[in-house]
A and B are shown apart, each in its own frame.
Chain A
Amino acid sequence: MSVGTSLTQDQSRAIRLLGVPFVYAVLLLAVPLGAIVLFSFWAQDFMAVDTTFTLDNYREIADSPIYAMLLQRSLMVSGIVTAVTVVLAYPVAYFISFHVTPSKKSLWLFLITIPFWTSYLIRVFLWKVILGYNGVINSGLIQVGLIEEPLTFILYNVNAVIITLAHAFAPFAILPIFVVLEKIDRSLLEASQDLGESRLSTFFRVTLPLSMPGVVGAVLIVFIPTVGDYVTPELMGGAGGKLIANMIQTQFLQLNNAPLGAALAIVAMLCVTAIALVFVFLNRRWLRGRR
């Protein structure tokens, strides 16, 4: 067998191996994305789509303050959700990693996934029941006499969106942090104490820096999808709690202006990409010192 034919064989094998995933990736990732990009440069002409190239959609987004306002609100809500989720997830992950006996760890992780057993919609409606005007929290607080009027700031506004999303994304934040905490060599913590640091200062000098890749991962995993979420603000946000994703949905489905919706999606995507890149860069920095 000559070298030439064996190379060809290798090549054909490579094509066969890569072909299916390649087609898959093109059909499911590149084509939809390309379609959105394409649409964003077209215009809606009543019922039909005018396919001549135009930047009008982007111009409109830049000119009307509503879009900037919604985008800003979206990023702010996602930012708060991410911060709340990660800050609350860290102690849970820490507890499971450091204080749960090894044989029980998988049980604990299993328990954390329980909320996923029901549909997200059902969980959202449950939060409505809990946070509502006559909901669990309000009636409970009235019963014990702490308040006289039901609290109104906990449902149908941005706060409700934040609470619901933070709950929904908690496992996504716990798991990556748990994984990096598990990988930390426990003798490093002993070494730190041996060198004079207390348990608390050991946490800040050793555990936290070494777990940063997990924290950054958790931040990305929570932040990116929450920017695009429209179900939660739709159901929990009320009039004042609408986000950019709701506007995109409105453009596509109610106003029948797919090109403007597509342009909005692209703008939102670019914002997320920019923020994600900052975090990826930060993660590199943290990872640099590690193997």
Chain B
Amino acid sequence: MTDLIKLRGVNKYYGTYHALRDIDLTIRAGEFFSLLGPSGCGKTTLLRVIAGFEGVSAGTVMISDRDMANVPPNQRPTNMVFQSYAIFPHLTVAENVAFGLRKRSDIAKSARAGLVEEALEMVALGGYGKRAAHALSGGQRQRVALARALILKPKVLLLDEPLSALDKKMREHMQVELIRLQRHVGITFILVTHDQEEALVMSDRIAVMFAGEIGQMDDPETLYRRPKSRRVAEFIGKMNFLPGQVTALSAAGEASSGAPLAGHAPGTVPPNRTNRLLTDLMDKIAPGTEANADTDTAEEAAASPEVMTVDIAGLGAAQISVDQAPEGAKLGEVAVGIRPETLAILFEGEMPKRHECPGVVDEVVYYGDMTYYDVRIKDVPQPLTIAMKNLIGRPVLEVGAACRVAWDDRALVLF
């Protein structure tokens, strides 16, 4: 994939307010790229900088290797879907979609009506051309805005929180449709959103922004599994943070030949016995891998150059690979992050796990498909949030119930 948009050292000030700080960003052709962040983080400003509605105070914006410094929005190869959709109220649906064609001398006048109908059909609004724009529902307006932008075949389609005005059902539906549409037209999409789930579902890559800076830029899986900073981890999904202490750094060989991993009791899991819950836990950690965790870990350790031993408050020692920690690992205090769904509550009669500890249920939040437990564990400063799938036959525990909590070294992230 070739680089389509290059931002280098982009800064934007509004008076004394520093809205964008040294943004370096490369977006490839055909990519579905998301700018994710809380409100006021500068993601919309960045999108408007790319569209040309805002100038930059410093830095360069290049689209297709062309400097956009003095190029007004109407001459950029970008089109935008506005948050309010900005459907022209005095025009019909077809007139809205055809709006941008007037300045396109490369498209024959006779071909325009056909193109409009084609564009409307693409967004499942075929036959709506004659309707008045104000008579449309929110979802339909959004489709008109999409058709209006895509009919011009821009190099980049900019989407400014396009789904935020829709209800949940409609939003989920449009997410899938947008992905399908993007694959179909092959245009680079840049999506601005504050909804982390939306960004994870839709994007090839995500840039997480905080206070005018890019906190992390990665594909959704890396972003979720290896957040580089605590605020990224907190913003995307839920994460438990525990105080910990790195007590040892060792080469990969030493670790595999050394003492068995802490808390692991070899032989207690009969290899051939089908244990639904174990499979469930393993699935959560690494989708696709079957129950045999030991060889998996050994392989990972062998491939990684170094292994760290971390002593986690209340949970005990864990052995983790250095790529679960920030670069330049060293001994000393760290914060250990664990996602709620990588923890598990062991129900009555279930096999012991590599690591487990007793706890007491402090809070239960029932979501239907999932139950979120806050579990208090001795010596852990605050209750751990644990997400459990409500599988068949699995009870929902009550507040105050004693339980066993299982966890895995590979799910830990150090900060």
Question: Counting CB contacts under 8 A, is B51 at the interface?
Answer: yes
Question: Counting CB contacts under 8 A, is A11 at the interface?
Answer: no
Q: A187-B82, A289-B134, A291-B134 are in contact. Are A194 and B90 (CB under 8 A)?
A: no
Q: A194-B51, A195-B148 are in contact. Are A188 and B86 (CB under 8 A)?
A: yes
Q: How many residues does chain A have at the interface if contact means C-beta atoms less than 8 Å apart?
A: 22
Contact A194 B88 (CB under 8 A): no
Question: Counting CB contacts under 8 A, is B252 at the interface?
Answer: no
Q: In the assembly, what is the distance between CA of A188 and CA of B51, in Å? A: 15
Count of A-B residue pairs with CB < 8 Å: 72
Contact B86 A190 (CB under 8 A): yes
Question: Which residue of chain A has its CB nearest to the CB of B99?
Answer: A195
Q: B366: shortest Cβ distance to chain A, in Å?
A: 41
| Cβ-defined partner of B74 (8 Å) among A187, A188, A197 | A197
Q: In the assembly, what is the distance between CA of A193 and CA of B149, in Å? A: 12
- List B contacts of A209 (CB < 8 A): 90
- List A contacts of B83 (CB < 8 A): 187
Residue among A196, A197, A205, A210 with the highest chain B CB neighbour number at 10 A: A196
- List B contacts of A192 (CB < 8 A): 88, 99
Q: In the assembly, what is the distance between CA of A150 and CA of B149, in Å? A: 61
Question: Counting CB contacts under 8 A, is A290 at the interface?
Answer: yes
- List A contacts of B89 (CB < 8 A): 188, 210, 289-291
| Cβ-defined partner of A289 (8 Å) among B72, B80, B90 | B90
Question: Counting CB contacts under 8 A, is A230 at the interface?
Answer: no
Q: Which of B83-102 touch A at CB < 8 Å?
A: 83-84, 86, 88-91, 99-100, 102
Mask, A264-291, CB within 8 Å of B = 1, is 0000000000000000000000101111
Q: A197: shortest Cβ distance to chain B, in Å?
A: 6
Question: Which residue of chain B has its CB nearest to the CB of A192?
Answer: B99
Question: Which residue of chain A has its CB nearest to the CB of B135?
Answer: A291
- List A contacts of B347 (CB < 8 A): none
Q: In the assembly, what is the distance between CA of A190 and CA of B44, in Å? A: 14
Q: A101: shortest Cβ distance to chain B, in Å?
A: 13
- List A contacts of B358 (CB < 8 A): none
Question: Which residue of chain B has its CB nearest to the CB of A186?
Answer: B86
Q: In the assembly, what is the distance between CA of A191 and CA of B87, in Å? A: 8
Can you pick out 7 interface pairs between chain A and chain B where the beta carbons lie within 8 Å of each other? Answer: A191-B88, A193-B53, A195-B103, A195-B149, A196-B100, A196-B102, A286-B90
Interface residues of A (CB under 8 A from B): 185, 187-188, 190-198, 201, 205-206, 209-210, 286, 288-291
